[in-house]
Copies of this chain bind each other. A is one copy, B any other.
Amino acid sequence: MTAQQLDLTADAATLTEQLVNIESISLAELEIADAVEHALRALGHLEVTRIGNNVVARTDLARAERVVIAGHLDTVPLNDNLPARREGGLLHGLGTCDMKGGDAVMLRIAATVPEPNRDLTFIFYEAEEIAAVHNGLRKLAESNPELLAADFAILMEPSNAGVEAGCQGTLRVEVRTHGERAHSARSWKGVNAIHKAGAVLRLLDEYVPRKPVIDGLEYHEGLNAVFVSGGVAGNVVPDECVVEVNYRFAPDRSEAEAEAFAREFFAGYDVTVTDSAPGALPGLDRPAARAFLDVVGGPAAPKFGWTDVARFTALGVPAVNFGPGDPLLAHKQEEHVPVVDIERCEQVLTTWLTA
């Protein structure tokens, strides 16, 4: 497939299929970025900027509002699920759901709504599926923050073609217990650190999640051991055990508050923070968000997982997830997207941008 082959006059599902068939595992987005850049430049009415394998395309119509519509171009690794395959109303294959269906909708809007009622900034970016250090949106926010400036942002991550607002934050801590080594044949000479971790796991088992309601959306926190490890040798009473805990916190808590909660929850234990990312408040009280919700119609839902909407929030731009496909299918071998979801997203955006 060459960069020339994206056909923006095709329907969005066909375009999704074309995008899926350009393999673009994280850090190998050159070909798909070339194709997207080529197709957008050919439209003529957009100002196109290429930075790395990120492609930004903007209208410049001096509208009262500017909206960012963003989607990543990369996928998780191949899992015997290419090329794309249509079956009934479903399109199967790597990236169909996460998130080339959304990318296709963006390209269709770019092609079919040349004079939107709000100025648009389309951002197609690289390396969302891997460590944040590679994330194209993060890099653009640092190198060219002006390109991300907007009154509202829509991230076309899969959300069953409904609006998922805000996102929960995530904190990872290591909770360590300490003991004293001894030969297991004379175990009473030592102190077993793994046994002591039992009380840590019991605390986790008894945890009752907070479910705050924010802007009318009920969030749902979670506190889970994601790893546990300990042990020296098969005949040694171990002197250390590490429980790695992931705290997913509602966006009414800051990272600092989340850390304080974790430290208090595990009071008396040795706690080390290893990873942290803030949540994002839904921001549904902003005018741009309200207008968009009116067109979508259905109720918004809270976003539990962390997504790049948090990056927009950090820049002061209210943002929501709105894309075709079920987020629970992301990263699965059997990943797929309903064609009706793709069609609905295109229709909603077209209506909102041409009303």
Contact = CB atoms under 8 A, between A and B. Distances in A.
B231 A185 contact: no
Given A184-B226, A244-B234, A248-B184, A204 B209 contact: no
Interface string A156-185: 000000000000101010000000000111
A114 interface: no
A282 to B, nearest CB: 16
As for how many copies of this chain the complex holds, the number is 2
Nearest to A236: B226
Contacts of A232: 226
A224 interface: yes
A234 B230 contact: no
A205 B241 CA distance: 14
Nearest to A234: B226
Given A185-B306, A192-B204, A222-B184, A246 B241 contact: no
The bracket for how many chain A residues form the interface is 35 or more
B234 A304 contact: no
A194 B194 CA distance: 12
Contacts of A275: 234
A238 interface: yes
B228 A197 contact: yes
The 8 A-B pairs of least Cβ separation, nearest first, read A198-B201, A227-B231, A185-B305, A187-B222, A194-B225, A195-B205, A198-B202, A185-B304
23 contacts: A168-B185, A170-B184, A170-B185, A183-B328, A184-B222, A184-B226, A184-B246, A186-B220, A187-B223, A187-B248, A188-B222, A192-B204, A192-B224, A194-B201, A194-B243, A198-B205, A199-B202, A225-B230, A226-B235, A227-B230, A228-B228, A228-B229, A234-B246
